Amino acid sequence: MNRTYVVTGAASGIGAATTELLRAAGSTVITVDLHDADIEADLSTTDGRKNLVDQVRERSGGRIDAIIAVAGLVAASPVTVGVNHFGAIATLEGLRPLLAGSDAPRAAVVASLAALEETDPGLLEALERGDESAALAEAERIGTDTTPTGSSPIYTTTKLAIARWVRRVAPTPEWAGAGIALNAIAPGVIETPMTRPALDSAEGRDALDAGAPSPLNGPAAPPAAPAALLAWLTRAENTHVTGQIVFIDGGAESIRRPDQV
Ligand SMILES: NC(=O)c1ccc[n+]([C@@H]2O[C@H](COP(=O)([O-])OP(=O)(O)OC[C@H]3O[C@@H](n4cnc5c(N)ncnc54)[C@H](O)[C@@H]3O)[C@@H](O)[C@H]2O)c1
């Protein structure tokens, strides 16, 4: 069955691997990114988000089968709030009406194992209220602070907030009630341009390993691993998995909080 997917962050890393996998299986993929994509849109801006929805509507004829929101960045900067949280939600909510014509509509977003690290309560509260200008101000306040494991609390907090958003909205009439499965994946360390600078030094590898110990098949999975998970979650055969945060981390989450089930 030929399905039409929209993949954001498709020019690199996990988004590129997902696009490649879906196209190899015969699906149509409309790619979105800042550059090297069918639709070039900056998801940190209102104009970019509108452009994404308008162009997907035009290119798809108003009907898509799945949305995979991968675009994100790790920078200790307010733009991370704009892309990782509000850009992802604008993608998912903005394109949701175009899923109405599909007989197996699905959606997925990429959160992170980093959501288990220290987060910032002020930023989390602004994100959960959906107040973008307050959240951007909180990110300015946080600046380049780091968590004990060296991550930016801006990054960790955006990833916790998007995971909680998925849990909140997935079972609602707009999503589950419309037959749309909505899930997040939470990768540990994936070998992409995002992690390359850290993976390139012994110190960086030790820091990543401390935050994301991976007894199954070692650290730094290839992007094909999360791509396959995203592809399954958004295929027609996923009829009943929704509202889940699926960790793909070689065992790190089960080490870090074994009793949380
Ligand atoms: N690599 C990892 O270890 C890892 C772990 C956990 C979660 N993640 C998440 O996976 C997702 C993909 O990361 P990746 O490792 O493939 O990184 P990547 O840097 O290889 O790819 C991210 C893509 O997002 C795009 N992007 C960034 N800002 C954008 C904007 N304003 N508008 C549109 N597109 C934009 C970039 O251009 C890039 O192509 C991110 O959300 C990231 O937080 C990655």
Domain containing 242 — which CATH number? 3.40.50.720
Does 75 fall in a domain?
A: yes
Domain assignment present for residue 144? The answer is: yes
Cα of 88 to ligand 1 centre, how many Å?
Answer: 11
**Ligand 1 center to 189 CA (angstroms):** 12
Pocket test for ligand 1, best of 6, 79, 192 (most atoms within 8 A of CB): 192
**Cα→Cα distances 198→110, 123, 143, 191, Å:** 20, 26, 20, 10
Q: Does residue 86 form part of some domain? A: yes
Specify if 257 maps to a domain. Answer: no
- Ligand 1: residues with CB < 6 A are 9, 11-15, 33-34, 42-44, 70-73, 83, 110, 112, 187, 189-190, 192-195
Q: Over the chain, what is the mean pLDDT?
A: 97
Residue 159 falls inside a structural domain: yes
Alpha-carbon distance of 223 to 195, in angstroms, equals 11
State the pLDDT at residue 33: 99
Strand order in the sheet with 106-110: 39-40, 28-33, 4-8, 66-69, 106-110, 181-187, 245-248
Q: Which atom of ligand 1 is nearest to the CA of 71?
A: 24
Residue 218 sits in which domain range?
4-250
Average pLDDT over residues 13-29: 98
Percent above pLDDT 70 for the chain: 100
Percent of the chain residues past pLDDT 90, beyond the cut: 93
For ligand 1, the distance from its centroid to the CA atom of residue 180, given in whole angstroms, is 24
- What are the E-state strand segments in 9-51? 28-33, 39-40
Compute, in angstroms, the gap from residue 72 CA to the centroid of ligand 1: 4
For residue 190, give the ligand 1 atom closest to its CA: 3
CA of 10, closest atom in ligand 1:
39
β-pairing, 106-110 with 28-33?
Answer: unpaired
Q: Decide if 101 contacts 63 (C-beta within 8 A).
A: yes
**What phi and psi, each to the nearest 5 degrees, are found at residue 59?**
-70, -30
* Ligand 1 centroid distance, CA of 259 (Å): 30
Higher local confidence (pLDDT), 150 or 19: 19
Give the pLDDT score at 1: 66
Q: What per-residue string of b and e applies to 172-210 under the rule 16 or more CB within 10 Å gives b? A: eeebbeeebbbbbbbbbbbbbebbeebeeeeeebeebbe
Q: For the chain, how many structural domains are there in total?
A: 1
pLDDT category of residue 148 using cuts at 50, 70 and 90: confident
Q: Which of 72-76, 130-134, 199-203 has the lowest mean pLDDT?
A: 199-203
Encode pLDDT of 89-141 as tens digits.
Answer: 999 999 999 999 999 999 999 999 999 999 999 999 999 999 999 999 999 99
Q: Is residue 102 part of a domain?
A: yes
Distance 48 CA to ligand 1 centre (A): 16
Asked whether residue 260 is assigned to any structural domain, the reply reads: no
**Does residue 191 form part of some domain?**
yes
Higher-confidence position of 1 and 256: 256
* Cβ(5)–Cβ(183) below 8 Å: no
Helix (H) or strand (E) holding 245: strand 245-248
- Average pLDDT (49-59) is 98
Q: Is the pLDDT of residue 54 over 90?
A: yes
Atom nearest to 72 CA in ligand 1: 41
Look at residue 117 in the predicted model and tell me its pLDDT: 95
